[in-house]
Amino acid sequence: MTAKPDKYDIVIVGAGPAGSITAKTAAALGSDVLMIEKRQAIGDPVRCAEGVSKPQLKEHIEPDERWIAAEVKGSRIYAPDSTSVELSEDVSGAEVGYTLERKLFDRALANEAALAGAEVRVKTRATGVIIEGGSVKGITAMHLGEECEIRADIVIGADGVESKIGRWAGIDTTLKPSEIETGAQFLVTDIDIDQDFCEFHLGASIAPSGYLWVFPKGNRSANVGLAIGGDVCHQGNRPIDLLRNFVEERYPNGKIIEIVVGGVPTSGPLEEMVTDGLMLVGDAARQSDPLTGGGIINAMDAGRIAGEVAAQAISEGNVSKARLREYETIWRERHGKRLKRSLAVKNRFVTMNDSDLNKLVHSVEGIDFSTMTLFEMLKVLVRKNPRMLISLGKLFV
């Protein structure tokens, strides 16, 4: 027997960074908010390299040493022949600066949402959306093995790359194999690495149509992971096998104390992120950077905008698609051009062989990138390699 339905202004499905920032923002503006999480513990398991930019993170939350595993000065990008270029963390714009402890970080964000007034309910899995009169009116869910209805004026899907909320509401969230990076990551300890720098390794034998990363985590440990295009992932070319090969060669005495696997959308954002009574944020809206795969900051930015627009829509009594589209418009104004550029660069880079990648890195040897943004570095690459990168020239005018 179905229990009597709960009723809220806003129900948020998923308690990652996107969901928690949305919940915190909307609750702080006076909305009655419920955030649900299908797992029994927020932040676990981790499916992320855990790297974020310092200044961008500080726009949302004051850093806390309890959930910062390491602080890095910059990153090194390695070509297949091991030639490298170095970027400063302060100005690179890359997903480096802090390496987080996501299990603690995500819980800290959820705690902030709760302190702002949101209700948080774990071990609660959405099973469908309630649609009446063409508008989403809530969700059906399983909580501790019991079916329930949760009514809400707005449902916000923050349920990650495998999001079902948008699809249930009629939004096309499908991804082609080439539009998703499938990855694996080891937490490796008892290894000697430069704790001041993140590493990114390119090459067909290392990570075809993707890259491998090494993110320091202090105490002679690091997240070592890789992601490759779903269209090149097959038996004999699985991320976990490629990763194991790299770790065995590079860190033969290292100890693997944790393994995580997952996927990241690299398609660029959805064409539609809202419909009547519903919004999508974070990986559910495909808001991660197509080039780097970084999604934490983008998700938090989206959560803040979505929370503000949702709360305003609730106060106005208008949760139509036309009203909620303000969130999508603002988000695209702030991030759309950058992600469009990242998608074009990614689509060009995945077609390059090892020889091409070596030439690119060799072409900028000796250039000081310490005062350049990632965008400025890409402009230099295009200028130095006009024939190879001719399709990208118009993006960097």
- pLDDT, residue 91, reads 46
Are both 110 and 134 inside the same structural domain? yes
37 inside domain: yes
Q: What is the mean pLDDT of residues 84-96?
A: 63
Are both 284 and 323 inside the same structural domain? yes
Number of domains in the chain: 3
DSSP 388: T
**C-alpha to C-alpha distance for 135 and 39, rounded to whole angstroms:** 28
Domain coverage including residue 187? 51-101+177-265
1 inside domain: no
222 inside domain: yes
Are both 282 and 255 inside the same structural domain? no
- pLDDT, residue 89, reads 58
Are both 191 and 328 inside the same structural domain? no
Are both 273 and 332 inside the same structural domain? yes
Are both 161 and 273 inside the same structural domain? yes
Q: Is 136 left (phi over 0), alpha (psi -120 to 50) or beta?
A: beta
Instruction: Using a pLDDT cut of 90, give the percent of the chain over it.
Output: 66
**C-alpha to C-alpha distance for 205 and 230, rounded to whole angstroms:** 16
Helix 17-28 × helix 102-115 angle, to 10°:
20
Are both 27 and 127 inside the same structural domain? yes
Q: Which of 244, 265, 286 corresponds to the end of one domain?
A: 265
Encoded tokens for 75? 């990153």
* DSSP string computed for 240-253: HHHHHHHHHHH-TT
Judge contact between 269 and 339, C-beta under 8 A. yes
Q: What is the mean pLDDT of residues 52-65?
A: 88
118 inside domain: yes
Per-residue 3-state assignment (H helix, E strand, C coil) for 174-233: CCCHHHEEEEEEEEEECCCCCCCEEEEECCCCCCCCCEEEEEEEECCEEEEEEEEEHHHC
Q: In CATH, what number is assigned to the domain containing residue 295?
A: 3.50.50.60
Are both 60 and 94 inside the same structural domain? yes
Are both 320 and 293 inside the same structural domain? yes
Are both 40 and 73 inside the same structural domain? no
Confidence of residue 55 (pLDDT cuts 50, 70, 90): confident
Are both 252 and 135 inside the same structural domain? no
303 inside domain: yes
pLDDT at 92 over 50: no
Q: Which of 207, 242, 265 corresponds to the end of one domain?
A: 265
Q: Which of 139-148, 213-222, 306-315 has the highest mean pLDDT?
A: 306-315
The structure's pTM equals 0.91
Kindly report the average pLDDT of the chain as a whole number.
90
320 inside domain: yes
* pLDDT single digits (tens) 216-272: 998 899 999 999 998 888 777 899 999 999 999 999 999 999 999 989 999 999 999
β-strand partners of 154: 10
Encoded tokens for 83? 């030639």
Q: Which of 265, 288, 309 corresponds to the end of one domain?
A: 265
273 inside domain: yes
Are both 248 and 145 inside the same structural domain? no
Judge contact between 226 and 239, C-beta under 8 A. yes
Encoded tokens for 4? 């009597």
Helix (H) or strand (E) segment spanning residue 311: helix 296-316
Q: In CATH, what number is assigned to the domain containing residue 214?
A: 3.30.9.10
Judge contact between 288 and 295, C-beta under 8 A. yes
